[in-house]
Amino acid sequence: MRKTDPSPYKDRIITSADTRDDVAQILYGLSLRGVKAVEVENEEKTPHSQIEGAKPPRFLILIETQNELEWRIAQDSIRSIWDAILEQHPRAVTPSGHCSFCGYDVERLPRPTICPECGVDVDSIAARRVVRLRRL
Ligand SMILES: [Zn+2]
């Protein structure tokens, strides 16, 4: 763990992570695509989303390079890296088809789905992360 003040790197934050396993998977996923990244403690407790019940993540993942192409590669790949991490949580929806946050029945709504009751995008990485963290 490097102790680095994240504030000078604000514009280099590609994502955050909740556990050391997540950090390892994200750094590995980025390295496979030729992107070097490091993790720092989220000392300012910057939240990863505005979703109610979302805890501030423990780590921030920073891209080391100033190279714009690497930055774009990282941006293009972070969703698929998270999809792999969240494989067991494909949607923030209960087994009976209800929104995990408010209980509204979203089963038959078109996807991706913004819950009409609470406004959460139940297909988003952010919502899926909150649901998984509750069960970790
Ligand atoms: Zn909802």
Task: Quote the CA–CA distance of 34 and 135 in Å, as a whole number.
Answer: 32
How many A from CA of 58 to the centre of ligand 1?
A: 26
pLDDT in tens, the chain (136 residues): 455 554 556 678 999 999 999 999 999 999 999 999 999 999 888 777 888 878 899 999 999 888 889 999 999 999 999 999 999 999 999 999 999 999 999 999 999 999 999 999 999 999 999 999 987 7
Domain boundaries, the chain: 1-85, 89-136
Alpha carbon distances (Å) from 103 to 32, 47, 112, 115, 118: 39, 23, 17, 10, 9
Sheet holding 59-63, edge to edge: 13-17, 59-63, 37-41
85 CA → ligand 1 middle, Å: 23
Ligand 1 mean position, distance from CA 119 (Å): 6
Residues 6+ apart with CB under 8 A from 21: none
